[in-house]
Structures are given as structure tokens and as C-alpha cells.
Structure 1
Amino acid sequence: MKLPPKRLAVGGRIDRSRPVEFAFDGKKLHGFHGDTLASALLANDVALVGRSFKYHRPRGIFSAGPEEPNALVTLGTGGRREPNLPATTLELADGIVAQSQNRWPSLAFDIQSVNGLFSPFLSAGFYYKTFMGPTRRAWMFYEHFIRKAAGLGRAGTDPDPDRYEVRYAFCDVAVIGGGPAGLSAARAAASAGARVALIEQDFLFGGQLLSERPDGSAAIWLNTIEAELRAFETVSLMPRTAAFGIYDGGVIGLVQRRGDAGTEESGEPRQVFTILRARSIVFAAGAMERPLVFPDNDRPGIMLASAARAYLNRFAVLPGRRVIVATTNDGAWRTAFDLATAGAEVTVADLRRAPAP
């Protein structure tokens, strides 16, 4: 199979021996096992993935994790239709059908983008002033059209063919986050004889270590500690699992995604809701990069430095051939060095007076 335009021939944590076919807005594309929907779209040189809520401005992939504000897609068709999912968190599987949202008639040509011309008159909460007529009946008339224009994706109306489960679990120590801190905490607790549940929203453990080069010391450490944890009978590894709430008595609410291409044939549940009761809870949820604020920082082609490094080192995707890295700290310099090593032409704009990376 011919590699997509921005896919590197070597590197990354993807399995090039297992190609995956998927569809985005009706167009068939290809990725590999280990991709997310976002990384596969970037590899296929798909820059425009959505439109903004009010002005329908073009939106591109901005991050590489659950903090993604732009690349929200509708996944599936019929009863499996699920809107407003971050493409950065969706594990690529064969047969996935995804659609962009909040555009008409197409993503590239969205008629409602004309709203941007009237932005001075469409400030936040404008409808509470502009459309308030002398009577309540005037607002009821305008509200009908405003509600139709609101929202992003549309939920499915057909019966859901998949199966879902509710489970109950217990442990001594629940570790939320499967990065280096969470992995270390889980190993320490398991070594002391505790029953441990390691919870990670990604389909791979490692957190920020996944953004390091897969042939370096970080990868060796990650593989070693993960093998150690799998050897413990008292450790439950829970990838693809989001902890959405903590309640009295050490109760944690968890949702685990099992498959997004449909699980009707296999009989496996599509999602599992777990009520986990833990004696102790360790928070190791990591951190998110804070973006720079400047005009038009929401346009396609602009992404976090940490995201660019993740797509390069984890997914073997070169985000661009000519890259400007703007930073205020040493962290983004690692992105610049890795991009340059991969063949990109890189310019670094460091706001500090005397950077010393």
C-alpha cells in the first residue's frame, strides 16, 4: 500500500503491517493499526476537519489528546451515530465512518461562514438584546431559527444495535492516569501487596512518554514497567477508560470504550460503565500544554507544540514541511529538534531574551 502524503516510512508506534481503511465525509482513506482518527487524517493531508460554532470559521486539528477543541466529529451511521467526539481520542479501526459537523452543504464550502462578515453584530449573547421585541411572541418567533442554527453534531434517531454493560469492581489503590507517574505509583502499590486498578483514557499506556522517540531510553523504560505490571496478578490494567467522577466513599465512575466500528457480531459490549470502589486514589492525570493567544490562532495548520511532537514520534506523521515553533520555554525546542531531524524546515521564535535550550 502506498503511504499517505505525510506519513513517514519509518518510526512511530503504528503497525504498518496492519493497514486500516476508513471514511471521512464519504471519502475512503487509509491508516494503520495504532493510529487515531486525527493522526490518520493528518497523514492523509486533511487539514480542514470542522467549522466553528457561531461564525463557521475553518477548524483544524489542534491537539493530540482529550483537550481537542476543534476536531469534533460524528462517528458511525444509523443507530451507532454518535456526535461531538474528539478525533484525537478515537482509536482507528477498520470500517470506521466519520463525518465533519456544523457545515452545509459541505465542509470546504460552508454557506454559513458568511456569519463572519456580521461578527460585529453577533457578539456573545446578542440574541438576548437584538431579538427581544415589544412582546414575548417576537422572541418565540426568532427562537425557532436560533435553535436550528445552534449545536454542532446531530445524534442518531435509530435504535442502537450494540450492547452496554454495568459492572462493579473493588481495589485497594486506584491510579488515575497511565503516564510515567501513574505507572510508577501502580508498581509501588502492587509491590507492597495492594490490589491496583490502573486507569488510562488512551488505548496505550505511557502518557507523555509516547511522544518520545520509540527507540530511546524512555521507550525501554515504558516497555519494562508495563511488562512488570502485567506480571502482577493483583493489577488490573484499564486502557480506553475515562474516570468521569469521584464520589463519597472512594467511589469512581468509569466508562470504557470497547470498539467504535460496531461490536454486534462479536457480542462484546461497545461500552462498559464500571462503578469502582477504592480504599485509596492516586491522581496522576498529567498536564496539558497552554496555547499562545494571538489573532487567528484557531486556523487549520496551527497546533500545540506537544501535539506536533506526538504526531511525529508516536504516529510517524510529519505535520508540515515548513514549520514555525513559537515558544516561551525549553519544552517546544524538543519538538523543533525532532521535526528538523525528520526533514522539516524549522524556524523557532522564542519570546525569551536569552533562550538556552
Structure 2
Amino acid sequence: MNAAFRISGAGRLSQAKTASFSFDGKQYIGIEGDTLASALLANGVHLVGRSFKYHRPRGFLSAGAEEPNALVQIVRDDARKTPNVRATVQELYDGLTANSQNRWPSLAFDVGAVNDIASPMFSAGFYYKTFMWPKSAWLNFYEPKIRATAGLGVSPDRPDPDHYAARYAHCDVLVLGGGAAGITAALAAAETGVRVILADEQAEFGGSLRFESGARIDGEDGFAWAQAAIAKLKAMDNVRVLSRTTAFGYYAQNFVGLVERVSDHLKSPGRELARERLWQVRAKRVVLATGAIERHMVFANNDRPGVMLASAARTYLNHYGVAVGRNVGVYTANDSAYAAAIDLRKAGVNVAAIVDLRDNPSGAVIDEARSLGIEINFGRAVVSAGGKLRVSSMTVQPKNGGGERRIAVDAILMSAGWTPSVHLFSQSRGKVAFNEEARRFVPGTYAQDWV
């Protein structure tokens, strides 16, 4: 197979099981188990979209549901055109057809990018002051043109041929999140004999164990432990396990809304299969094990294709066997990004430099990175990224001012720490509290029976 950034021996997918797909009319080859994002990255494709207003080039930021940039249109036929699908969530199947959005005439050459050049004139709400004269032009010219350029993707113009299902369920314990904490909670509850539902939005359970290459639980590889634990849970009569299932609402008296993607990952789903299933669950107790989201660093042009979260790069490498670049730079303010640099270096990827905003950190991961010959720059900041359709360099400067240094890279991995996913907790009317030591908001006063 011709996937230049697929690393032999890395990841958990079988390279013998290939799947062909197209993006913007060009054919590519991926592997069964890929997401559209990992398959595109394996083929060296970073440019996947344009920003809404200024049409700036956009690439992959994450490897999961929090992806803000890589929104594509999935086309099955004339009646099945789904806009704004996150490429990091869409599972690959043989024959998948995807198109980029919000560009014309092409993704690489987008006329709308002129907005970026004229951005100083396009302040927030500029249209309310600009398109006022002559008055008659608003109805006949301005509004039609603005509406034509607004929105992302193309809506289908035929009746939806798919059908959808709904289920009601009651349980003693509802666990949201299928990482190590969620699986452990589900096991502990299930072994007492109570009714348990475990739900996770990914196709595979394991959470961060998908990218934590050195994680060990009960003496075995963390991801392997997760798969064995899920198999055990599925075999229990009092447990229901739901993958590809997202919790979207936490309402009064522990009433939770879930949506399950039933057939969007299948090449030819049978007509008896629903496309999606709505679960309305009433639980005696809810366990929120939704993990945390890595924060990005702030610098000029940090939205260029090739700039992504360090945890995303680890996921693409350790789970999908894909390197996000050949000459990678790292910008961080915590230890997490060092693990990404170490994993990439051990896989044969050159790590040009690590730029650490902290003055004098120490620890095992820093020592290991240094032992691998990776250049480390303490007390410095990345002030800008070079390149247009893909990042080509990072400009580094002492954080207190001084001379700049330009380092050639084809990807920048960044990590500013982690923010707990408190969305559902807040929606349940819980009040968050600021943890001064960790410097983040965490669940504080809760309004419902959850843990």
C-alpha cells in the first residue's frame, strides 16, 4: 500500500486489511480500523478545510470528538450527503467518499482566502454597518450573496431514506466514559449484581490507553487490559455495553440522553439497521468518567495545518501506526508532550526540538528525551509558525524577550496541560470549583446522584 507516513510495526491495525477511499475526488488507501483522519495523515494529507470567515487553511488539531477543524462532507449517494462530519470520528470503510467544505474552486486554491488578506476591515459585525446602502440592494443583492457564502457543507435535497430508532432504558449505574476509570467503575458495580450501562463515544474502549504506550494495568498492557475487561462486561447478563455512543444531555433526576451511531461505519448497512439510535436512560446513579481534553498553546498562526495536540500525535502513532510528520517540533508547558516526542523518536521520526515554556523542569521523561538526543529549550516560547497550506517552521524566542531563532519543521505538537471534561457535570446543574494546585476547574457542588 502507498501510505508514506504509515510506520511498519507501529500501531494496532493490521496492514493486510486495506480499504480504498476518496477525498476531494482523489483516491487513497487506508486500513480497516482507521478513521478518515488517520487514513489521510497516513497519506500525507494535512490540509482538510478552510475556516468559516477568513478561509484560512485548516488541518487536524485532535484525534477525537473535540476536533474543531476537520469538518468534511460524507457522501453515500444523492440522498445521503452528511455535512460537518468530524474526520477524526468518521470510521473508514471501503469506498468511503468525503469532500472538503467552505472552499471554491478547490481546497488548495480558495478564492475566499482573500478575506484573510482583508481581515483588518472585517471586524465583528462589520456587515451591519457596511451593507446599508443603497437600501434596496440588501434584499436583492447583499442578502442573497451573504446567504450563499454562509454555512458549511451541502444539505441533501432528497428525502432521507434511512430510519432511526429510539430506546428507553433503566439501570442502577450508568457509566459515561470507557477509559480505565470508567471500565473499572463498571466492573466494580457489575460485580455487585446491579444493572449497569457503560457508554463511550469511540469505536474501541480504552480512552487514553489508546495512546499511552507504557501504561500497565494488573501487569499487562493497558489497552489489552481494557479489551479483556470489556469482553468480561459484555458476557455479564446485568451489563449493557454501548460503543459509538455519545452522551449529549444530563437532565433532572439522572435522566441522560445518548445517541448511538449504528451504521455510519459500515460500507453497506442492511436496510433493517437504523442509522442512529436515541437512548433515553434513567439511572439511580451516574458515574462521569469523561476524562480530560488537552489544551493548545497560543502563538501566531497556530491554526496552520500540521499544528496539533501532542496527545493526538501519540494516538495517530501508537494506535493507528501513523507519523504526523518527518521532522517534528514540540511546544509545551508540561510533561505530557515529552512522551509524544519520545514515542516519535523511538519510531524513527526526527524531533527537531522541544520548546518548554518552563524555566527549569526536571523529571524522568525529560531525562529520557535528552538521552535520545532530542534538543530541549527551556524558558522559551514559540512565537509563530511559518508556512501556509502546511506548517514549515517554528520561530522560537526567550519568553522574556531576546533574539529569535527559526527551526524548520513539518509538524508542531503542543500541550498546555489538561482540562477536565466537566460539560455533562455542568449541564446536570453541578457547580465547578477552581483547584488552585492543579490550576483547573473540577467538579465541585453536585445537584444529582453521581460520582
Specify which structure has the higher proportion of strand. 2
1:159 is paired with a residue of what secondary structure?
coil
User: What is residue 286 of structure 1 aligned with on the other side?
Assistant: 291
How much identity, in percent, do the aligned residues show?
52
Letter in 1 for 2:43: N
Query: Aligned equivalents of 1:251 and 1:95: distance in 2?
Result: 39
2:358 to 318, 343, 352: 352
User: What is residue 249 of structure 1 aligned with on the other side?
Assistant: 253
Query: Aligned equivalents of 1:200 and 1:15: distance in 2?
Result: 23
Query: Aligned equivalents of 1:162 and 1:185: distance in 2?
Result: 36
1:88 is paired with a residue of what secondary structure?
coil
The 5-angstrom pairing of residues 33-112 of structure 1 reads 33-76=32-75, 77-112=77-112
The 5-angstrom pairing of residues 119-158 of structure 1 reads 119-133=119-133, 135=135, 137-140=136-139, 141-158=141-158
1:306 matched to 2:305? The reply is: no
1:160 is paired with a residue of what secondary structure?
coil
1:229 to 210, 214, 233: 233
Deviates more, 1:20-29 or 1:209-218: 209-218
Specify which structure has the higher proportion of helix. 1
Task: Give CA-to-partner distance per residue, 1:300-335, whole Å, 9 cap, x none.
Answer: 111111101110001000111100110001111000
User: What is residue 210 of structure 2 aligned with on the other side?
Assistant: 210
Query: Aligned equivalents of 1:26 and 1:93: distance in 2?
Result: 16
* Alpha carbons 1:165, 1:271 under 8 Å: kept: yes
Q: CA RMSD in A?
A: 1.7
Deviates more, 1:97-106 or 1:3-12: 3-12
Deviates more, 1:252-261 or 1:119-128: 252-261
Query: Aligned equivalents of 1:264 and 1:211: distance in 2?
Result: 30
**Residue 169 (structure 1) shift:** 1.5
1:348 is paired with a residue of what secondary structure?
strand
2:16 is paired with a residue of what secondary structure?
strand
1:91 is paired with a residue of what secondary structure?
coil
Unaligned runs of 5+ in 2: 367-451
Query: Aligned equivalents of 2:261 and 2:209: distance in 1?
Result: 23
Task: Give CA-to-partner distance per residue, 1:187-236, whole Å, 9 cap, x none.
Answer: 11111211111110000101111012389632343233223322322111
Q: TM-score with structure 2 length normalisation? A: 0.76
The 5-angstrom pairing of residues 20-31 of structure 1 reads 20-31=19-30
Task: Give CA-to-partner distance per residue, 1:32-60, whole Å, 9 cap, x none.
Answer: 11110100000011111011101111111
User: What is residue 317 of structure 1 aligned with on the other side?
Assistant: 322
**Residue 179 (structure 1) shift:** 0.8
1:185 is paired with a residue of what secondary structure?
helix
* Alpha carbons 2:63, 2:312 under 8 Å: kept: yes
* Alpha carbons 2:205, 2:227 under 8 Å: kept: no
Query: Aligned equivalents of 1:213 and 1:148: distance in 2?
Result: 47
Q: TM-score with structure 1 length normalisation? A: 0.95
Letter in 2 for 1:65: G
Query: Aligned equivalents of 1:37 and 1:220: distance in 2?
Result: 24
Query: Aligned equivalents of 2:318 and 2:155: distance in 1?
Result: 35
Larger relative CO (CA 8 A, sep 6+): 1 or 2? 1
Query: Aligned equivalents of 1:343 and 1:90: distance in 2?
Result: 28
